[in-house]
């Protein structure tokens, strides 16, 4: 097995554990701002997927790049939809109060 590949897989596994530990300790009140920030990160991932796809040479690379762009797009749109639904919970359901200007 390639030592460089083992190194990259090790870094990926450590990043997954670290991410899980960080997210698990976030208070409930901060979930909406955290989702908003993660949506911005997903936008950067989409741009990166498009940049990598632009440099693809073979049909397999192009297909994987296209799949990465589609999945990143779904992730961004879904993230904003979830954030919008979360923000709906904080909006007032009634109209303006009586006597308000």
DSSP structure class, residue 58 = S
Whole domain around residue 64: which residue ranges?
28-88
**Mean pLDDT per 10-residue segment, the chain (101 residues):** 87 91 78 72 85 88 90 85 77 62 58
Is residue 13 situated within a structural domain?
A: no
- Prediction pTM value: 0.57
Q: How many domains does the chain have?
A: 1
Is residue 84 situated within a structural domain?
A: yes
**For residue 26, what pLDDT is reported?**
77
Nearest to 38 by CA among 1, 83, 2, 7: 83
Is residue 50 situated within a structural domain?
A: yes
Is residue 11 situated within a structural domain?
A: no
**For residue 17, what pLDDT is reported?**
92
Is residue 17 situated within a structural domain?
A: no
**For residue 15, what pLDDT is reported?**
92
**For residue 40, what pLDDT is reported?**
75
Return the H-helix or E-strand segment holding 40: helix 31-54
Chain-centroid distance of CA 20 in Å reads 14
Widest CA span in the chain: 74
**For residue 9, what pLDDT is reported?**
92
């Amino acid at each position: 097995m390639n030592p460089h590949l083992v190194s990259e897989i090790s870094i990926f596994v450590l990043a997954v554990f670290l991410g899980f530990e960080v997210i698990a300790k976030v208070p409930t009140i901060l979930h909406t701002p955290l989702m908003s920030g993660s949506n911005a990160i997903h936008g950067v991932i989409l741009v990166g997927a498009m940049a990598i796809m632009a440099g693809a040479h073979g049909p397999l690379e192009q297909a994987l790049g296209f799949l990465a762009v589609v999945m990143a797009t779904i992730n961004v749109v879904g993230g904003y939809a979830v954030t919008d639904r979360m923000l709906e919970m904080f909006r007032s359901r009634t109209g303006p109060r009586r006597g308000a200007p």
